[in-house]
Structure 1
């Protein structure tokens, strides 16, 4: 009996060991950046906000629109993608031993992570929002500077609030344009819009020094690691280094337009400055001489960080890369790619080979749809935050609209601007070519739909009738009808030749966000950030069916080329497929972390592309539907 009992225990113990081993292996396999089930490619890894090395220089963390990426800087591989924030994580800080990472969003939510396991440890809600976070030198405190001008200190063992220092500064009233928060002494530095810099000691709340010499706005501030120096850059095209004890100017570097993101080396002997050109310059703090000029980025530098051993420097840019440089030679060692901005919209070429995707900076990315690789980058002139973008049917012309009142046309291959179509009184939200490429429709916040001759590049008709801004426009497959969805809760159908209003579809209880025609032109689908998906008879305007979709609200809708399936994207981040005849759900693709606003099928119907507010695109395999 004793022998049997022992065998049983051995068997149970063995099973437990195997089970625990499988759990551990499963946890190790789940790094957070794997493609979700059903996805064949991901385009983009989220736009970069801030970055920081661990103290030992072996890892680099980036806060992005997709989450917090943790990279191995020895082997240049991703370790984890940490996702918990509902809003974009902006600020981050490592504990001195590198075992803990804190990430923060502006509203005040701070998440605490174990960097060895990638596990979430704690959530801190900082009253007053978040504008900077730092660990104390001993790692026992987390200091948080809030958007309300207060500083709160948190115990990093219990995550209880220790002390509050309120109203140290009024950021907006005082015209503050730059700041830094020292982990060495919890000292604050502020630079305002008229060139005045001041430092504040948080425990007394008193201003310790005032620096008066910048002629205009201060754009960047940085304490040296020992707090003995303070570097500043301004619109007067100068970089200045100050003694924080005496407020004496120690170094003046002139003729530095666009200098920003100042960063001291760990021993304070070097100062790095980044530029809108993408260059990084290393300066000798004692002499002001240039030590290195690092060239490789083609977009504005967003952040700079030194490794603790000073062998490498990391730089993040609007060109979508984080580059690792050898400090002594100035040579690039590696580039972490695919952080190409916060994609705002996209389109797929009619040959199913290429995406076009604008990013925040004035460039657009052309990607190969099969491999997910970047093909080309084209200039898109001075725009900000593109609202919509569209290929013409032959794929050689791209139309895009931003927060301006016009539509821009450019050549796909050369990026050359062909024409601005001017006529709208307010920003344009949606643009689409007719199936034959001879017309262009646009919808605007000015409550109008406009039809343009895409050959002569001139306005044909102004369609008036909507009572609020127009969010979405679509052509029927034969090009004779235009559908428009508006914030006034209606879908309107227009004659594309005469501009006359044909029908008003008015069953929605909220503003219409997306409209789409079926491939045969007999049905119109529309959604309005509610669970309901309306299918309308395009000839009579009568509702044919109402499908219950995402309970959190459906924002985007598109028909499959076979006409039997519709795809929707909603607030929950789930892409869902429905049978257009029965209304039944025939497939779900969870994977996006934020709301899905744009969808496109390839013309062969084998792939579905979705975009969400993370600024990331997924390509889904839908060949089996």
Structure 2
């Protein structure tokens, strides 16, 4: 089994906190999801997550006007510069403190960062070909200037269209105008008059007007007009002009306050989001209301407008909502929502194209693996959904919930067609479905019985009673008929559900059972227990075949309130979920820690550990704690300075005279990193794990999928075979690559004569080299033509070795695949040579039978005469004295 799984995507979370960004062409939306960034392609209906990860949640994003440089900053002010088209992190940098706003200038030469009360302007890092000498500069981040003047935190920055000036809005109730470089006759100006913190300020398209908006819903319209006291005396003196309030407007939203706003200068559109989940769309300068819509039950955290002004993107962190609204047609372009409670279980569909997630919020979500979007949400359950499982045939999903029901869902019509309940009210926590889909079983923590229903009739068929504790896990064998149940009574029982008797012999373990899984061939079960042990049992004779002590592997990071080190905390030393790989050779296990462990069953060894998260905003990701963060009232991270309000000023309790830090006895909770469920794809090429941050997908396919290109009407399979028959091997090979048909590529590949291989490779276009190398590496596993594949590999390395070396970053995955393929051939040939050598030595030591030539000895070791064997028979051939027993062999 291949084990080099790489992180490929993050599903289940669409928005956490921070600002949203549209790409320059307006077709893609960038959203911060915890410590990562997800890109939603709104035109092609796909999403992908960038591979880099911050050490804390991302607070701000900025994208240069060319759309190739992405700058992300986390809560601690640590920044990562990324090449967005290539998805490569270029540089790490630290601003040393939190950044509240980050914006690139329209020219792309500078970017401004709001750091506390100061504004820092930096030169944009150059990209290859942008500077005069065409090289990257030595210091990617060079500061241009620091601007000071505000008395409180700066909340937003807005550049003028010519990149000469920028506006800042601050919590000190004012906005300020700054010039990038000293301008003749320009003096930095302060715009004051608001009664609450100013959220944002913008220039109009002609830069003759400024708009400012404050938290209390006041919108001020500023104009550059003469001073009133000098207006009659001298109208033409430019120095006597100043910015003054021309008009005032107010958003009447009862007790709601403004949380975010965005302005589109080209179309004079203003969008304001409020704390009650309503947004309003207004046209300036008349302040005429175009639309008002309620899109959330909680406050809207951020709003963004794309370049054309047609789409509005909204993010609400309380429920994890992300919306893209087309205001002219009044329709949703994108409407996604995360689970706002922890995910309990996951399941792959039989075709591997969809993933089901269930959570404590009572919702069931169906995620499309290819696009990364949630395609349907079921809300019929009235309490937390604890388990889900697919029937092996058909599109039927079963879920169990704490509301006392087990439901069956039709995933073609997307409806609930059957509901199963018990005679008494129970909270079901485990579920298993017969492969045929005829019978469904559920276990509960309230009752020790296993309930069995008929899917066709919905009737309760039986209650399996033998356990003396709550049933924690259920699993059906792949062949059907055999049910394994694990309980807190430290036993695993095997039931023949369709048999005449319902008795079962228990498999005794040393601790409470947490999870049970059947091997795909139904001959073995894996059991995870509370003491951190993994044990493997034979189903036929109920004998333990092996075991793994996973306590050291399961112990993860140290929580902020732990008084013991991570290695000594007992709460994390067990696996809550366990699953077999598609071939049954490995098991994947995860629990209340930041690690997912992959074990080889037969040898009982740990193959690989996957780190779920390095996000320090979650509890349990650190191995060691900093003692200086421990105060008299407990860990500083658990002291509540933030409450329920959105602004820090509203959260701090200043009720006591002289109090500045709030009530030190007030506590708060932090999300803890854990893995609640894991599942392998039916193809074995990927696996997914539900964690605190969402649904993580790890895949063996770590390269971007290839799409057919350079196609025209003349490129068809028949024309490709015709070129192959004519002897135009290179042309036929290129045409097969364009069609992206592996069977056709193999047919052309094997038709090339060995003598023509160097000629074909010499003229091969470099654009096909990566695909060709991957193809040859796959042929080593699938075909027996060892020498033929080696000839192709040698020819490619000889003819294009320099090009591959100069572009090693582009061809690194392909070269690794070729190295593995060549290494595999070497191992197989070495093994074959050793076996052949032993066979030859064995044959050399065997006595001769029948007629042969050479020199032989009799049973006593005496040299025989010419033409005689041991029985006195005539022999053909000549005798040469002094040679060994078999002449001609060394």
TM-score by length of 1: 0.59
Partner of 1:154: none
RCO greater where, 1 or 2, for CA within 8 Å and sep 6 or more? 1
The yes-or-no answer on 1:558 pairing with 2:558 is: no
Quick one: distance in 1 between partners of 2:602 and 2:492? 21
Q: Is 1:616 the equivalent of 2:695?
A: yes
Given that 1:569 and 1:576 are in contact with CA atoms closer than 8 Å, whether structure 2 keeps it comes out as no
Q: Residue 392 of structure 2: SS of its match in structure 1?
A: coil
Please tell me whether residue 62 in structure 1 is matched to residue 31 in structure 2. yes
Residue 78 of structure 2 aligns with which residue? 112
How big is the shift at 1:314?
Answer: 2.3
Counterpart mapping for 1:28-67 below 5 A: 37-39=4-6, 42=9, 44=11, 46-53=13-20, 62-65=31-34, 67=36
Alignment deviations for residues 18-71 of structure 1 (CA, whole Å, 9 cap, x no partner)? xxxxxxxxxxxxxxxxxx953596462733122315899999763325634589
Aligned to 2:399: 400
2:261 counterpart residue number: 264
Which residue of structure 2 aligns with residue 588 of structure 1?
A: 608
Partner Cα distance (2:384, 2:258) in 1 = 23
The answer to whether the Cα contact below 8 Å between 2:518 and 2:525 also exists between their aligned partners in 1 is yes
Question: Could you tell me how far 1:451 is from its partner in structure 2?
Answer: 1.9
TM-score, L = length of structure 2: 0.44
Name the SS of the counterpart of 2:457 in structure 1.
coil
- Structure 1 residues 54 and 398: alpha-carbon distance in aligned structure 2, compared to 1, 3 A threshold: closer
Name the residue aligned to 1:230: 215
C-alpha change, 1:222 and 1:615, in structure 2 (3 Å) is: farther
Do 1:114 and 1:120's aligned partners in 2 also have CA atoms closer than 8 Å?
yes
**Per the alignment, in what secondary structure is the counterpart of residue 604 of structure 2?**
coil
Which consecutive unaligned segments of at least 5 residues does structure 1 have? Answer: 1-35, 105-109, 127-132, 144-156, 158-162, 165-181, 188-207, 211-220, 232-239
Partner deviation per Cα, 1:145-192 (whole Å, 9 max, x = no partner):
xxxxxxxxxxxx9xxxxx99xxxxxxxxxxxxxxxxx972279xxxxx
Residues 103 and 392 of structure 1, relative CA distance in 2, 3 Å threshold: same
Q: Distance in 1 between matches of 2:371 and 2:219?
A: 48
Mapped to 1, the partners of 2:34 and 2:513 lie a distance apart of 26
Q: Is the 8 A contact 1:349 1:395 kept in 2?
A: no
Relative to structure 1, the CA distance from residue 275 to residue 365 in structure 2 (aligned partners, 3 Å threshold; closer, same or farther) is: farther
CA distance in 2, matches of 1:482, 1:186: 67
Q: Structure 1 residues 183, 525: closer, same or farther in 2, change over 3 A? A: farther
Larger radius of gyration: 2
Instruction: Using the TM superposition, give the Cα deviation of residue 565 of structure 1 relative to its aligned residue in structure 2, in angstroms.
Output: 3.8
**CA RMSD across the alignment:** 5.8
Tell me the residue number matched to 2:303. Answer: 305
Q: What SS class does the counterpart of residue 306 from structure 1 fall into?
A: strand
Distance 2:101 2:333 in 1: 29
Name the structure 1 match of 2:417: 418
1:458 aligns with 2:459: yes
Taking the TM superposition and a 5 Å limit, the aligned residue runs for 1:567-582 are 567-569=588-590, 571-578=593-600, 580-582=601-603
SS in structure 1 at match of 2:603: coil
Cross-structure match for 2:537: 536
- Mapping for residues 51-90 of structure 1, pairs under 5 Å: 51-53=18-20, 62-65=31-34, 67-69=36-38, 82-85=52-55, 89=57
Of residues 112, 116, 141, the one that matches 1:141 is: 116
Q: Distance in 1 between matches of 2:48 and 2:520?
A: 42
> In the aligned structure 2, how far is the partner of 1:465 from the partner of 1:66?
47
In 2 relative to 1, CA 250–499 (structure 1 residues): closer, same or farther, beyond 3 Å? Answer: farther
Give the deviation of 1:560 after TM superposition. 4.0
Instruction: After superposing the two structures, state which structure 1 stretch, 58-67 or 554-563, moved more.
Output: 58-67
CA distance in 2, matches of 1:400, 1:72: 31
Mapped to 2, the partners of 1:273 and 1:602 lie a distance apart of 41
Q: How does 1:218-617 map to 2 (within 5 A)?
A: 229-230=214-215, 250-252=250-252, 263-265=260-262, 270-273=270-273, 281-283=280-282, 289-292=288-291, 303-306=301-304, 311=309, 313-316=312-315, 345-352=345-352, 354-358=354-358, 362=363, 364-365=365-366, 367=368, 371=370, 376-377=375-376, 379-381=378-380, 386-423=385-422, 425-448=425-448, 449-463=450-464, 469-487=470-488, 489-497=490-498, 500=503, 502-508=505-511, 511-528=512-529, 531-538=532-539, 541-549=542-550, 550-552=553-555, 553-560=574-581, 562-569=583-590, 571-578=593-600, 580-585=601-606, 587-588=607-608, 590=610, 592-593=612-613, 595-601=674-680, 606-613=684-691, 614-617=693-696
1:149 corresponds to which residue?
none
Q: 1:446 and 1:590, CA in 2 relative to 1: closer, same or farther beyond 3 A?
A: same
Change (3 A) 1:223 1:473: same
Question: CA separation of 1:65/1:515 partners in 2, compared to 1, >3 Å: closer, same or farther?
Answer: farther
CA distance in 1, matches of 2:114, 2:22: 12
- How far did 1:516 drift? 0.9
Name the SS of the counterpart of 1:442 in structure 2: strand
Between the two proteins, the alignment pairs up a number of residues equal to 488
Note the alpha carbon deviations across 1:527-580, whole angstroms, 9 max, x for none.
2366532112335654331124434353432234554443434544445141x3
Q: Is the 8 A contact 1:43 1:618 kept in 2?
A: yes
Decide whether the 8 Å contact of 1:386 with 1:400 is kept in 2: yes
Q: For the Cα contact (< 8 Å) 1:70–1:81, is it kept in 2?
A: no
Deviation at 1:485, TM superposition (A): 2.9
- 3-state SS in 1 of match to 2:252: strand
Shift of residue 398 of structure 1? 1.2
In structure 2, relative to structure 1, the CA distance for the partners of 1:78 and 1:435 (3 Å cut) is: closer
Higher mean C-alpha displacement, 417-426 vs 448-457: 417-426
- Separation of aligned partners in 2, 1:124 and 1:405: 52
> 1:82, 1:222 → 2: CA distance?
34
Q: Is the 8 A contact 2:298 2:316 kept in 1?
A: yes
Aligned 8 A contact 1:378 1:415 in 2: no
1:283–1:521: structure 2 CA closer, same or farther, 3 Å change rule? same
Tell me if structure 2 keeps the 8 A contact 1:462–1:499: no
Contact 2:73-2:80 at 8 Å conserved across structures = no
* Structure 1 Cα separation of the partners of residues 677 and 502 of structure 2: 27
Structure 1 489/320 Cα, relative in aligned 2: closer, same or farther at 3 Å?
A: same
Distance 1:617 1:99 in 2: 23
Runs of at least 5 residues in structure 2 that lack an aligned partner in the other structure: 83-88, 103-111, 119-144, 146-150, 153-167, 174-193, 202-210, 221-247, 556-573, 614-672, 702-777, 783-890
- CA separation in 1, counterparts of 2:371 and 2:39? 22
Shift in Å, 1:515: 0.7
Point out the structure with the larger helix share: 2
Which shows bigger deviation, 346-355 or 57-66? 57-66
| 2:215 match: secondary structure | strand
Identify, as 1 or 2, the structure richer in strand: 1
> Aligned in 2, Cα 1:334/1:535: closer, same or farther, shift over 3 Å?
same
Contact residue 42 and residue 619 of structure 1 kept, 8 A: yes
Distance 2:338 2:5 in 1: 22
1:503, CA displacement in angstroms?
A: 0.8
Q: Distance in 2 between matches of 1:425 and 1:186?
A: 58
Shift in Å at residue 440 of structure 1? 0.8
Q: Distance in 2 between matches of 1:563 and 1:140?
A: 54
Q: Which one is further off, 355-364 or 384-393?
A: 355-364
